[in-house]
Structure 1
Amino acid sequence: MGLKLECNNEQEILEIGEDLIELLNTLLQKAGEAEGVAEGEVALTFVDDEEIHTLNREYRGVDRPTDVLSFAMNESVEDEQEIIYELEEGEELDGFGDMLGDIIISVETAKAQSEEYGHSLTREIGFLFVHGFLHLLGYDHQDEASEAEMMGKQEAILAQVGLTR
């Protein structure tokens, strides 16, 4: 199966073209290779600030927009709600076994950040995508050491496709 990217566009700020999707798929392959992840599916959704603000408030308790959110399928949270599936006789539950998780990117915030940092919007979206993917694999940046590790991995992957600062 390999690594598979499913893209959804729920914003009108930026037209999401095939070139961008192709680049993100390449980044997914490079990041997977770097991390030893050969199979799985990532769902990527592009939204605006209003939508990511709602998600950030609902799932993280943070009442503001953010640039990227990641929801890993293999995370276990103490207060996580159980999901119960009722299957018909002979029906099998599938489609979740290879799902690594969801990444949501606010194109509105990405655009503002690309202008602030002085690089392209494509570079910023690529950075946020790789950042989100590493979160799906369990990386975090709660302290200086883990942030430095994550930043190093992100920059190395981005450099492979020419998305440097």
Structure 2
Amino acid sequence: MSVEITNESSIPVGEIRLAAIADFMLGQLGIHPQAELSILIVDVPHMAALNERWMGEEGATDVLAFPMDELSPATRPGVAPADIADDEDEEPGIVGDIVLCPAVAISQAAAAGHTFEDELHMLTTHGILHLLGYDHMEPEEEREMFGLQGQLLKKWRAETERARG
């Protein structure tokens, strides 16, 4: 995967680790290994402007997702992500852009009782799922999206613990 991260905020976010989790999530979802994803890190005023312009909402939010190509995850029952990723007919594509606001993430992490890094990982995963067409407007959609998000984050944590030895 090609994951490009641009940090325009004054808050360090651990770009290498953020790129690693994005790459991991896209791989788990069966997205072509040469697909491209962009992550933009912005400050509160920039996020508020984007949120108002694109979502019609006032104030800054934690994550926005702007899909590009219509890519679909390989999360159908009985289909392993590797089976789809190796398909010669599938084009790599551009997944899209995720915009994160670390200032909002810091507040949310404190309120949720977990680390800033955990919050950024959750928001990155959440944004990727939105890029792939998942939503949470309806209760059933919310259960599906948040259930998958939880499973993916659990796999990421297990993989990270395994790598640390």
Q: Which residue of 2 aligns with 1:38?
A: 32
TM-score (norm 1): 0.76
SS in 1 for 2:157: coil
In structure 1, stretches of 5+ residues that fail to align are 76-96
Q: Is the 8 A contact 1:30 1:157 kept in 2?
A: no
Distance 2:147 2:62 in 1: 19
How many residue pairs get matched?
A: 136
Distance 2:29 2:140 in 1: 18
Aligned 1:134-153 pairs, distance under 5 A: 134-153=129-148
Identity rate of aligned residues, in percent?
32
Distance 1:68 1:112 in 2: 13
TM-score (norm 2): 0.76
Q: Is the 8 A contact 1:7 1:45 kept in 2?
A: yes
Richer in helix (by share)? 2
Q: Which residue of 2 aligns with 1:154?
A: 149
Q: Which residue of 2 aligns with 1:25?
A: 19
Q: Which residue of 2 aligns with 1:128?
A: 123
Q: Return the offset for 1:44.
A: 0.3
**CA RMSD across the alignment:** 1.7
In structure 2, stretches of 5+ residues that fail to align are 71-91, 159-165
Q: Is the 8 A contact 1:42 1:99 kept in 2?
A: yes
Whichever of the two has the greater Rg, that structure is: 1
**Does 2:12 correspond to 1:15?**
yes
Instruction: Detail structure 1 runs of 4+ shifted over 3 Å in the superposition.
Output: none
Q: Return the offset for 1:115.
A: 0.3
